[in-house]
């Protein structure tokens, strides 16, 4: 099996679910970077929304509004994916090797060294899985202390 670039190529239903969530997270991150590029001429102190207790500033830059929203959405999405992925990894000792051999290994030149062509969604799901594995040991099914 070669490297999987597009998550819809996955035939494993749970891996497909996780990969699509990771693809969405990486797309939001890319949109956030694009918005940062668009507001490069806006001073940093003007890149935040006004205090919510104040009347809405209707003439506020729409890109700044979008830019202020994306990081929270990305964090919420990552926080939602992590327990799903960790639960699946703990269900069976074979899930971690399946995850790694199917998704990660084909895109790494050496352990820990990604190919330059590795898609962002894959890097995102690997980071989330590694964090989940550190928090929850998949071998004994209990949170790591």
Can you name the residues that pair with 113 across neighbouring β-strands? Answer: 110
Q: Is 103 within 8 Å of 125 (Cβ atoms)? A: yes
- CB neighbours of residue 29 within 10 Å: 18
Statement: residue 140 has pLDDT above 50: no
Strand extents, DSSP E, 53-132:
108-110, 113-114
| Residue 144 pLDDT | 40
Tokens 């594995």 belong to residue = 133
- What whole-number distance in Å separates Cα of residue 25 and Cα of residue 93? 27
| Residue 142 pLDDT | 42
Can you name the residues that pair with 137 across neighbouring β-strands? Answer: 142
* Segment 47-57, tens digit of pLDDT: 676 666 655 55
* Segment 91-132, tens digit of pLDDT: 888 988 889 899 999 999 888 899 999 999 999 999 999 888
Element (H, E) at 16: helix 13-38
Name the token pair of 85.
């992925």
| Residue 2 pLDDT | 79
| Residue 54 pLDDT | 58
């Amino acid at each position: 099996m070669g490297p999987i670039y597009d998550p819809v190529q996955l035939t494993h239903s749970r891996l497909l679910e996780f990969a699509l969530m990771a693809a969405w997270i990486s797309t939001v991150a890319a949109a956030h970077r694009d918005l940062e590029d668009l507001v490069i001429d806006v001073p940093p102190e003007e890149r935040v929304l006004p205090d919510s207790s104040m009347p809405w500033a209707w003439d506020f830059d729409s890109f700044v509004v979008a830019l202020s929203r994306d990081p929270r959405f990305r964090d919420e999405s990552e926080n939602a994916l992590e327990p799903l992925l960790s639960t699946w990894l703990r269900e069976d000792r074979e899930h971690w090797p399946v995850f790694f051999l199917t998704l990660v290994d084909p895109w790494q030149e050496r352990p820990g060294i990604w190919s330059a062509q590795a898609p962002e969604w894959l890097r995102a799901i690997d980071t989330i899985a590694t964090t989940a594995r550190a928090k929850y040991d998949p071998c004994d099914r209990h949170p790591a202390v």
